[in-house]
Amino acid sequence: MAAFTTKPVTKATWSDLEILFEGRGGPKHCWCMVWRPLDGPRQAVKGPGRKRALKAMVEARTPVGLVGYHDGEPVAWCSIAPRDTHIKLSEAQDDGEEGVWSVTCFFIRRDHRGQGLSAQMLEAAIAHAKKRGAKVVESYPVDPDSPSYRFMGFVPLYQTHGFTPAGRTGKRRHVMRLEV
């Protein structure tokens, strides 16, 4: 069995994230900036501007997520970061609550899908957040038949990892939480 590992995105691993995101089918259009602050109107900031914004966060040492590697090759991504580094993720969120980290996105390279990497990335994300002082990991998944927001993961994935329902946000997204 091939080795699967994860690393936080840092200046040293930025090029691995570029390889993953700019590869065939990668999220080079959004650069995982859908839920993060941008300079200017959201619809006006396109792929290259979003890439620059994410890179600036990494250069400022703001946690943004993990890259997953299969035999040293970048094949997976999970956005895990302090909730306060995002725009408002839920109408009911308590902005005064400290120690909350949010999982907002997964990307698995097409040739590695169906191998349980989302679960492995989620496990690594929980451990990463806990090691950095998180008290709660929050997620915003959708039901498996949802036509949108699928990149945020599905409710059953979080249920199997101990997350419990904490409400809804919008028409499709659930809010689920795990105390760590």
Three-state DSSP class for 30? Answer: coil
CA separation for the pair 160, 121 (Å, rounded) = 14
Which of the four CATH numbers 3.40.50.300, 3.30.1360.120, 3.10.20.30, 3.40.630.30 does domain 4-179 have?
3.40.630.30
Q: What pLDDT score does 102 carry?
A: 98
**pLDDT tens digits for range 35-73:** 999 987 777 889 999 999 999 999 999 999 999 999 999
Q: Exposed, middle or buried: residue 29 (CB in 10 Å: 0-12, 13-18, 19+)? A: exposed
Give me the helices (H) in the chain, please. 14-22, 47-59, 117-131, 155-159
Q: How many residues does the chain have?
A: 180
- Taking 50 as the pLDDT cut, the residues of the chain under it are none
> For the whole model, what pTM was predicted?
0.94
Q: Return the domain boundaries, the chain.
A: 4-179
Give the model's pLDDT for residue 21: 97
Q: For the chain, report the end-to-end CA distance as a whole number of angstroms.
A: 30
pLDDT at 32: 95
pLDDT of 152 reads: 96
